[in-house]
Structure 1
Amino acid sequence: MDTVLSITTTVDSAEAARQLAQELIRRRLAACVQVDEGVSSHYRWEGRDCLDAEWRLTVKTLPSCRAAVEAFFAAEHPYQLPQLLWLEMQASPAYAAWVRAQVGEAA
């Protein structure tokens, strides 16, 4: 199967993004984590309108690793209520094989 899972979340600093990305890779929960800076998030929290700079993490993993990645973020994410969005995507056979090799049985 050539399906990969893409999970996105945001954090409030480059350092938090770097730490989460490195730990996901180290634990072999993700094959790749892309970090986008310069995200402006407009939202309502606890009755207030908010605008904050954030860094977006896009985690590339396998569908079978979703629960483990969710558990990781539940323990390690700096936000009280982190955004966790996921989407199963079709990938090229070569890329999907690479993702499987990176997260494989170690996850």
Structure 2
Amino acid sequence: MKPTKELLCLVYMTVGSIKEAKQIGRILVKQNLVACVNILENMTSIYKWKDDLEEDGEVVMTAKTRKTHMPQLIKTVTEHHSYECPCILELPIEGGNPEFLRWIETETDLTE
């Protein structure tokens, strides 16, 4: 299979705990919505929310998937997320190791 890199993306998300990150990550991988999830602990976020300056510890999640999976991914993450307005950002993958790009496509094939 030739990689179709223009159809792939990296998803950046934040959650409140490692437990929540693992729960959401497992759901996304089991449903083939993402090929894999990377979880990075101990991030500090400083932001305004409802006119208050906030500073919280968060966990970063990155995932590799197909652009076409984003609507369902956003729906699934939002359903299982503890935040009122979860951070879910789509970043295009412009290139990379062709074998790895094919692996992403294989692992996110919803027809199998």
Same fold (TM over 0.5): yes
Q: Distance between the aligned counterparts of 2:16 and 2:78, measured in 1? A: 16
What is the alpha-carbon root mean square deviation over aligned residues? 1.4
**Partner residue in 1 for 2:87:** 83
Which runs of no fewer than 5 residues in structure 1 stay unpaired? none
- The answer as to 2:95 corresponding to 1:96 is no
Aligned to 1:53: 57
Aligned counterpart for 1:10 among listed residues 14, 21, 33: 14
Instruction: Provide the rounded CA distance (Å) in 2 between the counterparts of 1:17 and 1:87.
Output: 19
Q: Shift of residue 32 of structure 1?
A: 0.7
> Mean alpha-carbon deviation: is it higher for 25-34 or for 88-97?
88-97
Given the superposition, is the C-alpha separation of residues 64 and 5 from structure 1 closer, same or farther in structure 2, using an over 3 Å criterion?
same
SS where residue 29 of structure 1 aligns? coil
SS at match of 1:50: strand
Q: Tell me, what secondary structure is at the counterpart of 1:100?
A: helix
TM-score by length of 1: 0.93
TM-score, structure 2 length as denominator? 0.89
Q: Which runs of 4+ in 1 moved over 6 A?
A: none
